[in-house]
């Protein structure tokens, strides 16, 4: 008897429906074809034990299983359950009613030897794929099913064991108690931003200029570089950024959660306070160590998994001690910073992952770090300083919108208490939220595919970042004087647009451009 069960496999973020074709005939053999990897081939032993533990038998006949399409490699243990269901239906151990309903379901899960189900990676993109392909339901392990709680248009069933799967397929009454819903999960847009009590702007003494730069960067999604002496507060400022970023929109949350699901990290996020199941709420904040390898940063490996830059999609990639990173690791950031996407090419195929992130980098201005202190404490030679700075190439620097020199905290600010005087992250976050809403409404109403000022395409610069009337000659002189590149010029205009949005201004004024220039172009003798 021939039976078909439907499941899916992920190739990066691309999901393909896999048809498990099972044929049971006379004989004693087991054939599994369709480009399965070792984990799929080993499923026979897990299935035999699980069936025996749940009152079924593994048929002692000739079993031929094909995983179609046969030209796509199938990896992982998530095929265990559909293979087991197919074997039972093809051998007549499940009723015709169950067999007839298989066409309506996408079924996945790994089997333990006692028949319990273990979580699988990539559940969220698979659920979205099931919705797009018109399946009525998805049957998944409970820990994986929760990932799709907020996806409408497809019914998701959570199973803890193989018996649960059988009962879900055979009984509508039983299945209703296993449906995963978005109950008790509020709308993403109504959620507050992530609270970071240990890192609040009110705890930062002085550094008004740097805090202003961080606010503008957060409001427009701009990349920012903080260069300054050790202990000046660069790392603390960067970590305070988490408390002022607005929560993701539902569309952004789905994009980012898809990446975490593929990497097998979305379920782990559910243990955090800000995540109650379903989609990620707050923007990711990834902080890789400076010894990170290129594949770990950009993505890859034998399975082509996403790297840190994709895990930071719609959020922040914080690179502390930026000049200590391997030069190759820094250089691979060039294209993602410009295009917002990364392509990973391997022997098994190509994987495309989104990588639209805010780069927040912190570094010292010289090997000893004291160059900007101004009282002769720095003893680094000119050649040592040049070698240190050359780790970060001109093209990379040109892609960093805001470049701030963070000077040591003034003694007055450091010694005397400023409790209650410094602005809190909550106050800054409210301004950032309003600026982001202005941008979202502006670009949504115009039908654009971007929603932050930092992502404005070159073709739209003149539309959204027009120079003040009659100021073309002034800007021409400034560009020539500062030696600003074409990319740098457009980024200055984007920063000015963000400053205008923070002030609630419909148009960009010369004061906004002046502040943007100050943030983009510090004094030439101090540029890192």
The pLDDT mean for the chain works out to 89
CA gap 164, 286 in Å, rounded: 38
**pLDDT above 80 (res 349):** no
Least confident of 3-7, 106-110, 174-178, 385-389: 174-178
The conformation of residue 63, written as its DSSP 8-state character, comes to: E
pLDDT tens digit sequence for 289-312: 999 999 999 998 877 899 999 999
CA gap 167, 164 in Å, rounded: 5
Among the ranges 83-87, 173-177, 477-481, which has the highest mean pLDDT value?
83-87
**pLDDT score recorded for residue 211:** 94
The residue whose two tokens read 């979205």 is 128
- Name the pTM for this structure: 0.89
10 Å CB burial of residue 510 (0-12, 13-18, 19+) is: middle
The half-sphere exposure of 28 on its side-chain side, counting CA atoms within 13 A, is 1
**pLDDT above 60 (res 107):** yes
**pLDDT score recorded for residue 158:** 93
User: Residues 321, 290: contact at Cβ < 8 Å?
Assistant: yes
**pLDDT score recorded for residue 96:** 87
The residue whose two tokens read 């004087």 is 481
The residue whose two tokens read 């260069």 is 227
User: Residues 201, 428: contact at Cβ < 8 Å?
Assistant: yes
CA gap 193, 248 in Å, rounded: 9
**pLDDT score recorded for residue 274:** 44
**pLDDT score recorded for residue 523:** 54
**pLDDT score recorded for residue 150:** 87
Residue 416 confidence class, pLDDT cut points 50, 70, 90: confident
- Dihedral (C-alpha) 108, 113, 115, 116: value to the nearest 10 degrees? -70
Considering only residues 522 and 369, tell me which one the structure prediction assigns the higher pLDDT: 369
The alpha carbons of the chain give a radius of gyration, in whole angstroms, of 27
User: Residues 457, 494: contact at Cβ < 8 Å?
Assistant: no
> What element of type H or E holds 82?
helix 80-90
User: Residues 81, 162: contact at Cβ < 8 Å?
Assistant: yes
**pLDDT score recorded for residue 409:** 84
């Amino acid at each position: 008897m021939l039976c078909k069960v439907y499941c899916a496999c992920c190739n990066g973020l691309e999901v393909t429906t896999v048809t498990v074709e099972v044929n049971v005939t006379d004989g004693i053999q087991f054939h599994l074809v369709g480009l399965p990897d070792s984990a799929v081939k080993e499923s026979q032993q897990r299935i035999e034990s699980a069936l025996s533990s749940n009152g079924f038998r593994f048929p002692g006949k000739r079993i031929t299983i094909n995983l179609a399409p046969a030209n796509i490699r199938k990896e992982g243990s998530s095929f265990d359950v559909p293979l087991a269901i197919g074997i039972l239906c093809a051998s007549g151990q499940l009723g015709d009613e169950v067999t007839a309903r298989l066409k309506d379901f996408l079924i996945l899960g790994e089997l333990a030897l006692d028949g319990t189900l273990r979580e699988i990676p990539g559940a969220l993109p698979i659920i979205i794929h099931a919705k797009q392909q018109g399946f009525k339901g998805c049957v998944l392990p409970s820990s994986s099913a929760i990932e799709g709680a907020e996806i409408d248009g497809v019914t998701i069933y959570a199973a803890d064991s193989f018996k649960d799967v059988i009962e879900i397929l055979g009984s509508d009454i039983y299945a209703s108690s296993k449906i995963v819903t978005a109950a008790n999960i509020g709308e993403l847009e109504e959620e507050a931003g992530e609270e970071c009590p240990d890192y609040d702007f009110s705890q930062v003494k002085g550094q008004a200029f740097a805090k202003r730069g961080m606010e503008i960067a957060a409001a427009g999604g701009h990349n920012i570089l903080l260069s300054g002496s050790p202990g000046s507060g660069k790392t603390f400022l960067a970590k305070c950024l988490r408390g002022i970023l607005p929560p993701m929109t539902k569309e952004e949350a789905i994009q980012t959660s898809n990446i975490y699901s593929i990497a097998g990290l979305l379920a782990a996020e559910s243990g955090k306070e800000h995540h109650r199941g379903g989609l990620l709420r707050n923007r990711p904040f990834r902080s890789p160590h400076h010894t990170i390898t290129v594949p770990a940063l950009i993505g890859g490996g034998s399975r082509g998994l996403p790297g840190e830059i994709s895990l930071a999609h719609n959020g922040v990639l914080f690179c502390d001690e930026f000049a200590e990173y391997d030069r190759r690791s820094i250089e691979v950031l060039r294209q993602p910073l410009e295009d917002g996407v990364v392509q990973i090419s391997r022997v098994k195929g190509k994987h495309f992952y989104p990588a639209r992130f805010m780069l927040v980098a912190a570094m010292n201005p010289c090997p000893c770090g004291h160059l900007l202190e101004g009282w002769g404490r720095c003893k680094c030679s000119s050649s040592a300083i040049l070698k240190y700075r050359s780790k970060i190439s001109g093209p990379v620097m040109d892609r960093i919108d805001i470049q701030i020199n963070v000077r040591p905290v003034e003694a007055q600010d450091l010694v005397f208490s400023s409790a209650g005087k410094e602005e809190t992250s909550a106050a800054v976050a409210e301004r950032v939220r309003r600026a982001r809403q202005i941008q979202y409404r502006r670009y949504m109403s115009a039908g654009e595919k971007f929603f932050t000022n930092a992502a404005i395409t070159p073709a739209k610069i003149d539309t959204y970042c027009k120079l003040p009337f009659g100021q073309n000659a002034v800007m021409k002189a400034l560009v020539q004087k500062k030696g600003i590149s074409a990319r740098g010029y457009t980024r200055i205009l984007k920063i000015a647009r963000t400053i205008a949005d923070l002030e609630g201004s419909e148009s960009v004024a010369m004061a906004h451009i002046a502040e943007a220039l100050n943030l983009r172009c510090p004094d030439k003798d101090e540029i890192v």
